[in-house]
């Protein structure tokens, strides 16, 4: 029984350790009011706080109107990198969009959020 508890504690400790190897400056960004058909972008900055290189497996947008761009190269321990998220602003009205980022060897993905309101261009 003690061995089982020890193994479980080791597993939980490893999971928590892996999850804390990525530190985002912020996981949300509010664009405010933006003009229709003028794409906007924001770069989410994060640091590899672990001791091993970090790899982004995927960064997936919730819809086709949002595009994430990220490095495919490993991010060295202690280094900072960015994920650029672009919203195409084609449709009028308020929006809230997610980008789910999955890192190799990190159990829980990180969800980045952008929001704002697309307004008509002044004539």
Q: Which helix (H) or strand (E) holds 47?
A: strand 40-48
How many folded domains does the chain comprise? 1
pTM of the model: 0.82
- Per-residue pLDDT tens, the chain, 123 aa: give them: 444 434 444 444 443 344 469 999 999 999 999 999 999 999 999 999 999 999 999 999 999 999 999 999 999 999 999 999 999 999 999 999 999 999 999 999 999 999 999 999 887
Distance CA 81, CA 15 (A): 22
pLDDT at 123: 76
Q: Which token pair is 55? A: 């790899």
Q: Please state the length of the chain.
A: 123
In which domain, by residue range, is 96 found?
2-119
The residues pairing with 54 across neighbouring beta strands, listed in sequence order, are 75
Indicate which CATH number applies to the domain containing 61.
2.60.40.10
pLDDT at 122: 85
Instruction: List phi, psi (to 5°) of 62.
Output: -75, -15
pLDDT at 20: 60
pLDDT at 113: 98
């Amino acid at each position: 029984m003690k061995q089982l508890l020890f193994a479980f504690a080791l597993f939980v400790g490893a999971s928590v350790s892996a999850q804390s190897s990525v530190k985002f400056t912020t996981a949300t960004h509010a664009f405010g009011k933006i003009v229709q058909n003028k794409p906007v972008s924001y770069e989410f900055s994060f640091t590899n706080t672990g001791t091993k290189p970090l790899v982004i497996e995927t960064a997936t947008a919730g819809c086709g109107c949002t595009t994430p761009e990220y490095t495919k190269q490993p991010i060295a321990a202690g280094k900072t990198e960015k994920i650029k998220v672009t919203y195409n602003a084609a449709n009028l009205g308020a929006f809230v969009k997610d980008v789910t980022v999955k890192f190799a060897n990190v159990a829980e993905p990180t969800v980045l959020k952008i929001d704002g309101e697309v307004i008509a261009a002044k004539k």
